[in-house]
Structure 1
Amino acid sequence: MLITYRSSLEGTLNIAESFEKNCWINMTAPSTEELAQVSQFCNIPMEFLRDPLDLEETARIQYDEETNCTLIIIDFPTIDMNYDQFDSYITIPIGIILGTDYMVTICSQSTGFLESLVRRNVNTSMKSRFALEILFLISTQYIEKLKQLNKQRHKIENNLRNSLTNKQLYDLMEIEKSLVYFLTSLKGNGDIITKLFRTHSVKLYEEDKELLEDVIIENNQGIETTELYTRILNSITGSYSSLISNELNNTMKTLTKFTVFLTLPTLVFSFFGMNVTLPIADQSPLSWMFTLIIAVLFIVLIGLAFRRRRIY
């Protein structure tokens, strides 16, 4: 899909029917024909359009001297469709291409957060500042998703206090996986954002530098928040692992006690049930009382021994 926008004199973005000078071309999962059309009309290298569509592409900046185009690839968070229990996240790349007369954003999936730019007063002719607006918007997306993950963690933690199930542990694993994606992508994005200060192909004015500093601050806040949530989650999982081990030890201790108490009467009754001469007359009607008393006596003695050693 391909949509072209151009800012009006009032600063609002309007959809353009064709490619115009200083317009913004937003491409989502484009077809081969659309890639060829944009590459030819806007004089953009084809690899600049194809690289951001690779989900394994890392964040980077690349400049092409022949076409005077700059490619910025950066990661943004999106919902993981493979997990439907709650909103788990992964990160995928998005490409921002700054050309001489055109600006292109391209991604393999829908970028709903870019729709908020349509409602803002932006100027597509100021390509560097417009690119920084997108970078700032991506950084704020991380903060919003982190807040949602933290709320979900609180919910799972409250459920864990009542009962511990495998589903809750799997949910915690999904949150931890999302945080790993976030931390890796935020650090990669931070390196790219810092390089913008030293990149001569991207012209920055004083106002742009101030916005770039805001982007760096927002990205660093995302890194610190992700690291904090990761430490909290590791602490929670470690604590519950200790609780599970403790519960297992208590269960095994209880079963061992029952085994000992049940084994003693069996030993006594087995001894007196042997076909040999015993001190108790086998014809006496009270003989079974003697064996029962001996079994109970053994149980009481072992119980007192356990109590003295504080095994209970």
Structure 2
Amino acid sequence: MPSLPRSPFGRRGRAAAEVAPERTEPRVEIIESPGLRWINIERPRSLEQAWLEEHFDFHALDFEDIRSRNQRPKVDEYDDYLFIVLHFPRYDKKVSRLNAAEVDFFVGPDFLITLPNENVERVDDLFERCRKNEDFRDQLFSKGSGYLLYKIVDDCVDAAFPMLGKIGNKLERIEEDIFEGKGDDVVRDISNAKQEIINFRKIVRPQRVAFRDLERNKARYLAEDLDIYFDDIIDASERGWDMLENFKEVVEGLEATNESAIAHRTNETFQVLTAISLIFLPLTLIASFFGMNVHLPFEDSEYAFWIIIAAMLAIVVGVAAFFRRRGWL
């Protein structure tokens, strides 16, 4: 049996796979301060879940929700902790698409656990700032787990407004392009903008209910003089929703305007072509008439050709002047 040719990359690929060490320790980041721990676990897998099961007595359904990637925003209340699932908009540059980044929270009297299913910049930035800046960490942690939860959620909600601003700028550019006659590009841009707005609305709409539930449960882990902070999150969320509602109406109006502009330009084109056809129709009739193989007036005259050309020119000028006066040209 003939031997098959071997790929020059096969041995290297196997060696790389053998060298790559399999992770045996959970990736758990912890920041501690007197009375409070912040535990951050990004992209939790089986090792991280086993670590949580070993150190915390959470409900089995909560661990199941951590493994799931299709959870709706919600707030589950237990006797000694809260389990919260929230979604935040995240722009994926690799696919040029707006996606939802899920962050799960466990909130207790002396701990806060964050479990983002992918990299969330605002969570990472706040965690690193607490790790490196002791004064900031002590100031933030001294107000309890409820205030730390507020700070994380508030930063993630505020991160959506620059994205909304970019959508607004994009809609303004589309409006300018419509009246510059960039028909094909405008259709594509409107379609992309509508998709972004739809994706954004899919993230924000169910989140509004979760924020109201969170606002009702905040008192368990928040000092009385700090209860207004979660109202601020709801206000920011509603402000973002109002912007999306406005963008939805704007993009629908731009789509209708673009269709009207395209129809108007098409009508103008047909109008010009129709006028040109009507101008040359009498000339075609005259040429056909004098092209017949029969005896015609002036056919023996040496000036017959020039007389016909002059008549044609006169007809062209007269019809064009008539169309011009009526505004058809």
Following the alignment from structure 1 to structure 2, what is the Cα–Cα distance between the partners of residues 166 and 83? Answer: 22
CA gap of 1:158–1:124, structure 2 versus 1, over 3 A, is farther
The one of 11, 27, 31 aligned to 1:6: 31
Does 2:260 correspond to 1:242? yes
Find the residue that maps to 1:285 and give its secondary structure. coil
Q: Show the counterpart of 1:76.
A: 88
Following the alignment from structure 2 to structure 1, what is the Cα–Cα distance between the partners of residues 189 and 116? Answer: 28
**Contact between 2:275 and 2:323, CA under 8 Å: does it hold in 1?**
no
User: How far off is 1:110 after superposition?
Assistant: 0.5
Does 2:58 correspond to 1:44? yes
Report the residue type matching 1:75 in the other structure: H
Q: Show the counterpart of 2:274.
A: 256
What are the ranges of 5 or more consecutive residues in structure 2 without an aligned counterpart?
1-25, 130-135
User: How far off is 1:301 after superposition?
Assistant: 4.1
Find the residue that maps to 1:23 and give its secondary structure. strand
Q: Show the counterpart of 1:34.
A: 48
Report the residue type matching 1:3 in the other structure: V
Following the alignment from structure 1 to structure 2, what is the Cα–Cα distance between the partners of residues 124 and 30? Answer: 27
Find the residue that maps to 1:258 and give its secondary structure. helix
Q: Deviations over 1:10-31 (max 9, x none)?
A: xxxxxxxxxxx94222222222
Does 2:187 correspond to 1:187? no
Aligned-pair identity (%): 18
Following the alignment from structure 1 to structure 2, what is the Cα–Cα distance between the partners of residues 278 and 82? Answer: 77
Give RMSD over aligned pairs.
3.0
Q: Deviations over 1:37-68 (max 9, x none)?
A: 22332223454244356554321122356xx4
Report the residue type matching 2:125 in the other structure: S
Following the alignment from structure 1 to structure 2, what is the Cα–Cα distance between the partners of residues 7 and 154? Answer: 47
Q: Show the counterpart of 2:124.
A: 115
What TM-score do the two structures reach when normalised by structure 1? 0.80
CA gap of 1:204–1:276, structure 2 versus 1, over 3 A, is same
Number of residue pairs the alignment of both structures matches: 295
Q: Show the counterpart of 1:18.
A: none
Q: Show the counterpart of 2:307.
A: 290
Alignment of 1:119-158 (within 5 A): 119=129, 120-121=136-137, 122-123=140-141, 126-158=144-176
The one of 232, 239, 249 aligned to 1:214: 232
CA gap of 1:35–1:192, structure 2 versus 1, over 3 A, is same
Q: Quick check: 148-157 or 255-264, which moved more?
A: 148-157
Following the alignment from structure 1 to structure 2, what is the Cα–Cα distance between the partners of residues 299 and 172? Answer: 44
What are the ranges of 5 or more consecutive residues in structure 1 without an aligned counterpart?
10-20
Report the residue type matching 1:190 in the other structure: R
Q: Show the counterpart of 1:24.
A: 38
**Contact between 2:83 and 2:106, CA under 8 Å: does it hold in 1?**
yes
Structure number having the greater helix percentage:
2
